[in-house]
Structure 1
Amino acid sequence: MIEHQKIKILIITSRADFGGGPKHIYSLIKELNSKIDFAIACPKDYPYFDLYSKIVGFDNIVEIPHRKFSFSYLFLLIKFVKKNNIHIIHSHGKGAGIYSRLLSSFTGVNALHTFHGIHIDQYNFLTRLLYLFIEKILALFTKRFITVSDSEKDRVIKLKIADKKKIIKIENGIEIDKNKVVKFNSDLNVYNIITVSRFDFAKNSDLLFPICKELNSFDPKFNYAVNILGDGELKDIFEQKIISNELTDKIKLLGTQIDISDILINSFCYISTSKWEGMPLGVIEAMAAGLPIIATNVLGNKDVVKNNVNGFLFDINNPREAAEYIIKL
């Protein structure tokens, strides 16, 4: 009987901390490890560096800097790819995408790239032009692009980053635990509104402040709490804003957790304040648990949430609309 050699894939991510991208990679390698020989290049971040290592083994993991490009690590990866006879290089996110396409140009190994969001809205005009120029050059060394939603695919085509013939849409997925589903209780003392976020520009957590103020104006007796799971570079500033907005009794920071299922099933609804998404894993996980969704009507969110069908979409510039949907629930 002929034994078929397993494909060897090097996955590159410039983040291995809490977030949708690293979690998505973990699900991929966990599910496909018996069929594919995976190697991982990622930073030594908690929690996913250790979780990846447990699946692929420490010999198949290469440490790279957190969200920084380094030529010395590029050369290290070139040696790794050649030594281990890697068949495919697959990058996730823009930082990792620089490594993968340069690796492909040096080694001749085909590169795949998954965007996980087009993060240029916070850039000024010149930085945006530079980013698009670099992406178009790197596209020459990319065999296939993977987008995680129709909206993301449309944006890649509109920005002329890649030929649409090279783009494949593969939506993110999650494991569903049928035993962990919301059981609605009409006698709740506190209505817990949950969100999984990262304190940065894209996740737009500051939008929660005017939403809370609108909720307070609608019904001062409405007993709710907004519970935020996550971390990020702007967390300290956000905490100060909670105090300055006099919302310490309403907004609670729960930190980061690997398994959020128990928190989800004990919540009232899920809210997303993002300016954009690739494919929002937090929203998908909340939907799988049976939570009502209230989300900004932006790329990614609108690919998952169908307004008035499986959730509510609100105008990002209209926090009152979000509050109205919460009260409606």
Structure 2
Amino acid sequence: MKILYVTTISNTINAFLVPHIKMLIEQGHEVDIACNINKDIDSELLDFGCKVYNVPFHRSPFQKGNLIAMSMINKLVALGKYEMIHLHTPIASFFTRLACRKKKNLKILYTAHGFHFYKGAPIKNWIIYYPIELLASKWTDGIIVINDEDCLAAKKLRLRRKNAVFKTSGVGLDLDKYSIPSFEEKSKLRKEYDYKMNRFILFYAAELNDNKNQELLINAVYLLKEKYPDLLLLLAGEGPLRDKLEQKILDLGLSDNVTLLGYRNDISQLLKISDIAVASSKREGLPVNIMEAMATGLPLIATDCRGQRDLITNSRNGYIISLKDIKGFAEAIVKVRESKTLRDDFSKNNLIDVNKYSLINVMLEMNRIYEPLTEKMNVVNINITF
């Protein structure tokens, strides 16, 4: 079968979808890619024979470039004689479905990595994105979602196939890249990174933006710095709020307690030197950063938002805290810090729970979804619970 993967930007392909595309190719399918190439596509996919088409999608639905992209997709699908399109990201997904809505014998599958409309979302998100998804659903053969809230929302849409909403365990995490460190390994790494063993380290990897809400974590550390001067919050990532966060750290006198690490490609090592993984997002799909922390055996403390509450069961593998509860977040840090038994229990449960989100399990889930949509695929015959 000839399949086209479509995303708004190429970063989505590189970050999440390389194993998915490789699986299809290894099973005998021809897979090409269409997206706005903001970064070169992973060379491994090029080696596998994927053709890559630069299509000028924009993240804003109101950019004229999306109309140009829609016209290009229409011609590309016709000339390429694709039999299935697998869509990712809302803007590219809408304009592609609009362009292909009248094409016969073309199956359209859409993965929603997190609907832009959700409980507590700004009203403008509901005004813009809900009608878009409602309209486009009638041109869609199947929708894949990755959390409970989106699953309920998707089931209210009017897909052209019945019972075609599928819930998977995210994009899949390669568990071989993560492990719980021994005391000796942690000590060695702390020395290499120039952090003393008596520091109690909190870690969060996320873009520095309003949604990721790092200010909450900084405020929580401020509440604790007098009692726990050894507390250290490491924030990995770049983003538009860097200058603002730097100034806040200075204003609160937290230069020794909060460090902005910038962009990092050593997340697995930074997790190993940490004591707790924290997350302060206002919304998520199914966050990989939390899965990575689970695979490293770290206790978790996170805000109560879609996606994070799908991964964390309160008091089993971490704590879920209300979005604006700075004091509650600080108290949760203290609880985990003060109890080795709690840390050990959370760690053990995370190492168990993360297996559900492994790359192997997600690939099996995807096989089950592809099966009725592709006639030529050799699918592993295994029962999978969604």
- Report the TM range for the smaller structure's normalisation: 0.7 to 0.9
Which residue, 129, 146, 165 being the options, matches 2:163? 165
Aligned partner of 2:4 in structure 1 is 10
Cα deviation digits, residues 105-155 of structure 1 (max 9, x gap): 153422211111122468653552232222211111111111112232124
Structure 2 stretches of 5 or more lacking a match? Answer: 188-195, 337-386
Amino acid at match of 1:113: Y
Q: With structure 2 as the length reference, what TM-score do the two structures score?
A: 0.73
Q: Is the 8 A contact 1:14 1:93 kept in 2?
A: yes
Tell me the residue number matched to 1:313.
Answer: 320
* Deviation larger for 285-294 or 111-120: 111-120
Determine helix, strand or coil for the equivalent of 1:177.
helix
Name the CA distance, whole Å, in 2 between partners of 1:39 and 1:277: 28
Contact 2:143 2:154 in 1 (8 A): no
Give 1:130's aligned residue: 128
After superposition, the Cα gap between the structure-2 partners of 1:33 and 1:265, relative to the gap in structure 1 and judged at 3 Å, is farther
Matched letter for residue 8 of structure 1: K
Q: Secondary structure at the match of 1:231?
A: coil
Tell me the CA shift for residue 285 of structure 1: 1.1
* Residue in structure 2 matched with residue 24 of structure 1 by the alignment: 16
Residue correspondences, number = 316
Structure 1 residues 57 and 235: CA distance shift in structure 2, 3 A: farther
In the other structure, the counterpart of 1:284 is 291
Does the CA-based 8 Å contact 2:108-2:139 persist in structure 1? Answer: yes
- The answer to whether 1:99 aligns with 2:132 is no
**Equivalents in 1 of 2:25, 2:260: separation in Å?**
35
Deviations 1:288-315 (A, max 9, x none): 1111111112211111111111222112
Going from structure 1 to structure 2, the CA distance change for 1:260 and 1:303 (only over 3 Å counts) comes to same
| SS of aligned partner of 2:327 | helix
Contact 1:78 1:106 in 2 (8 A): no
Mapped partners of 1:99, 1:278: distance in 2: 21
- The range that moved more, 232-241 or 280-289, is 232-241
Using the alignment, how far apart are the partners of 1:167 and 1:45 within structure 2? 30
Question: Map of 1:199-278 to 2, 5 A cutoff?
Answer: 199-217=208-226, 219-221=227-229, 223-278=230-285
Residue type matched to 1:86 in 2?
Y
- Alpha-carbon offset, residue 178 of structure 1: 6.7
Distance, in Å, in 1 between the alignment partners of 2:43 and 2:72 is 22
Q: Classify the secondary structure of the residue corresponding to 2:163.
A: helix
Name which one, 1 or 2, has greater alpha-carbon Rg.
Answer: 2
1:192–1:268 contact (8 Å) kept in structure 2: yes
Alignment partner, residue 151 of structure 2: 153
Tell me the alpha carbon deviations over residues 2-35 of structure 1, each in whole angstroms, 9 at most, x when there is no partner. Answer: xxxxx22212221334x7x852223322444312
Identity of aligned residues (%): 28
| Amino acid across the alignment from 2:306 | L
Cα distance between partner residues in 2 of 1:123 and 1:231: 24
Deviations 1:254-286 (A, max 9, x none): 223345212212221111111121111110111
CA distance in 2, matches of 1:298, 1:123: 11
**Is the CA contact 2:177–2:268 (under 8 Å) kept in the aligned structure 1?**
no
Q: SS of the counterpart of 2:232?
A: strand
Please tell me whether residue 41 in structure 1 is matched to residue 37 in structure 2.
no
The 1:288–1:214 alpha-carbon spacing in structure 2 relative to 1, beyond 3 Å, is same
Q: Answer whether contact 1:182 1:264 (CA < 8 A) is retained.
A: no
